[in-house]
Amino acid sequence: MKISAHIHQRILIKNWLITLVILSLLIGLAWLSRLYSTQIDLTTNANNTLSEASQKILTTLPETITVTAYIRESHLQKQIAQLLNRYRRFKENIDFSFINPDSVPEKTRELNIGPQGAIVIEYQGRSEKLMFLDESSLSNALLQLANTNERWITFITGHGERSPAGQANFDLGLFGKQLEQHKIKAQTINLAQISSIPDNSSLLILASPAVALLSGELSIISDYIEQGGNLLLLTDPDNQHLNTIEQQLGIHKLPGTIVDSSSGLYGIDDPTFVLVSEYTRHPVTVNFNSITVFPVAVALESDEEGNFKTEAIISSVLRSWTETGKISGKIRFDPDSKEREGPLTIAYALTRDFSDKNQQRIVVMGDGDFLSNAYLGNVGNSELGFRLINWLTHNDQFIEIPVKVSTGKSLELTLTSIAIIGVGFLFILPLMLLMTGFIIWRRRKRR
C-alpha cells in the first residue's frame, strides 16, 4: 500500500501529539511528586516505618524539635540521619545537625560529652542527652520532653548524706541540676527539724548517710515505708547506718567490696570499679544498652521470705567476687573465706501492692557513687539514674517504645542440605557445563 504525503503528514502529527501527551504526563507526575510524597514499606516487620506509639508522641509536640549529634564518625551520622528522616515524614519541623566534638571543646565539657559522643534533643528549653540512638530511645526522650508536669522528690539530709545541691565530688549536684531540667524538683529535709515526709513528695531518697540516724528519724522512715511510700536507698560497703531499714526491706549486705577482674579490659586499673553491660529484664532496664560504672560497690542479698516482691536488676559479671581483705597489689578469690563469687547483685527492685493506692516501689543500690559528681558522666550512669527516678515515681507514661526486630535475616541449613549444595556446585554443575559444551561441539562438527 502506497502512503500518500497527506497520510504521512497525519501520522507524523499523530506521533508528535502522542509524544507531547506522554511528556506532559511525565512532567505533571514529576511536579505532583514534589508536592505530594508517598512511600510503601515492603519489609516484613515494617522496619523502615515509625511505630504507632512514636507517631502518637510526635502529635503532642507541635513546636520545633532540635537534634544535635556530637559525633565524629561519618557512618554513624548517616545512620542517625536515616532515623531522623523517618520522624520528619510525620513532623517536618525537626531540625538536626552534626558537630564534631573536637571543634567545640567548651560545649563538650559543658554537656559532659565523652569520647564516644552524644545526641542532644531540645524542645521548648528542655533537653535530653542520649548515648545510644534508635527509635526506642529517641521516642522515649521525646516523651520525656513532652511531659510538663512538675514532680517532687525528697532527699534526707543532716547526716552527711550526698546532697542534690552539693558541689563536692561525692555529692549529687550535677544530677540534681539534670533533674531540674526535667521538671523534677529535689527538696531536702532534716527529720530532726521536720517530723514528717512532705505530702507532695512522690519519692524519698536516702543517699549514704555518714553518721547514724536518730531512732525517731528511723521510726518516721519506717512508718513511711509501711504506709506504701516509694524509696531509693543508696548504700556503700561498710556503711552500717542503714541496717535497720535494710532489715525492714529484707535486704542485707555481704561482707567485703565487689572487685571486677574484667575492668582492666576497659583500661581501668582499679578492680573496685564494677562495669555492667548486661541487665536483667525489668521496666528500669528494658532496652537499656549502655555500660554503667559502679565504683566501690557492695554486694546485696535478699531474704527468701518477706513482704515485698524482690527482683535483682543489676549484677556484676561472672569474673567478680567480694574481696574481704586489703585491696592492693595482686588480689585473688579465696574460696576458704567468706568471699562470694560473681555474679553478685548490686541493685534490687522491691514492689508491693496495696488495694487502696498505687504499687509501692523501692530500689536498694549497693553503690552511692555512680550518681555522684565524679562519676555521673560515665557512659550510661546518668540515664540509669533517670530510669530509676521515672520508675520509682510511677511515671509509667514513659513507656519503652518496642524495638523492631528484623526477621528472616538468617538462613539455617541442615548438614545434608549443605552437602548437596557443595557437591552440586563443585562437581555436578561443572560436569553439566562440560557435557553441554561437548554436545554443541559434536553437532557443529557434523555439519
Judged against a pLDDT cut of 60, whether residue 222 lies above it is answered with yes
Most confident of 157-171, 260-274, 397-411: 157-171
369 within some domain: yes
Query: In the listed set 109, 141, 173, which residue is the last one of a domain according to the structure?
Result: 141
Query: In the listed set 102, 124, 141, which residue is the last one of a domain according to the structure?
Result: 141
Whole-number average pLDDT of the chain: 85
159 and 134 within one domain: no
Question: How far apart are alpha carbons 234 and 297 in whole angstroms?
Answer: 10
CATH number at residue 129: 3.40.30.10
346 within some domain: yes
Sheet with 118-123, strands from edge to edge, namely 94-99, 65-70, 118-123, 126-130
204 and 337 within one domain: yes
CATH number at residue 176: 3.40.50.880
Mean pLDDT of 318-342: 85
Lowest-confidence pick of 200-204, 222-226, 231-235, 378-382: 378-382
Cβ atoms of 186 and 166 within 8 Å: the answer is: no
Cross-strand partners of 154: 187, 204
Total domains in the fold of the chain: 2
347 and 232 within one domain: yes
Mean pLDDT of 333-358: 88
Give CA torsion, residues 201, 181, 283, 311, to 10 deg: -60
Cβ atoms of 123 and 145 within 8 Å: the answer is: yes
Residue type present at position 166: G
- Structure confidence at residue 260 (pLDDT): 87
List helix spans (H) across 114-172. 135-146
- Structure confidence at residue 399 (pLDDT): 45
Question: How far apart are alpha carbons 342 and 317 in whole angstroms?
Answer: 6
238 and 167 within one domain: yes
181 and 58 within one domain: no
Mean pLDDT of 9-36: 86
224 and 104 within one domain: no
Question: How far apart are alpha carbons 57 and 133 in whole angstroms?
Answer: 17
Q: What predicted TM-score, i.e. pTM, was given to this entire model? A: 0.67
pLDDT in tens, 102-120: 888 888 888 878 777 888 9
162 and 271 within one domain: yes
Handedness of CA 363, 368, 371, 377 (dihedral sign): negative
Query: In the listed set 376, 392, 408, which residue is the last one of a domain according to the structure?
Result: 392
310 within some domain: yes
Residue ranges making up the domain that contains 74: 52-141
- Omega prior to 343 cis, within 30 of 0: yes
- Structure confidence at residue 383 (pLDDT): 85
256 within some domain: yes
Q: For residue 186, how many other CB atoms are within 10 A of its CB?
A: 22
Question: How far apart are alpha carbons 49 and 36 in whole angstroms?
Answer: 18
Judged against a pLDDT cut of 90, whether residue 394 lies above it is answered with no
292 and 225 within one domain: yes
Judged against a pLDDT cut of 60, whether residue 293 lies above it is answered with yes
Mean pLDDT of 25-48: 73
Judged against a pLDDT cut of 80, whether residue 351 lies above it is answered with yes
Angstrom CA distances, 293 to 273, 381, 390, stand at 7, 7, 20
122 and 58 within one domain: yes
Question: How far apart are alpha carbons 371 and 136 in whole angstroms?
Answer: 24
3-state secondary structure string, 282-295?
A: CCCCCCCCCCEEEE
Among candidates 199, 234, 195, which has minimal Cα distance to 348?
Answer: 234
160 and 274 within one domain: yes
93 and 162 within one domain: no
Question: How far apart are alpha carbons 204 and 164 in whole angstroms?
Answer: 13
Mean pLDDT of 397-412: 52
**Residue 126, SS3 per DSSP:** strand
Residues 6+ apart with CB under 8 A from 285: 279, 313, 314, 384, 387
415 within some domain: no
Residue type present at position 253: K
Cβ atoms of 385 and 182 within 8 Å: the answer is: no
439 within some domain: no
258 and 134 within one domain: no
Cβ atoms of 328 and 352 within 8 Å: the answer is: no
Question: Integer distance in angstroms from the first to the last C-alpha of the chain?
Answer: 42
161 within some domain: yes
381 within some domain: yes
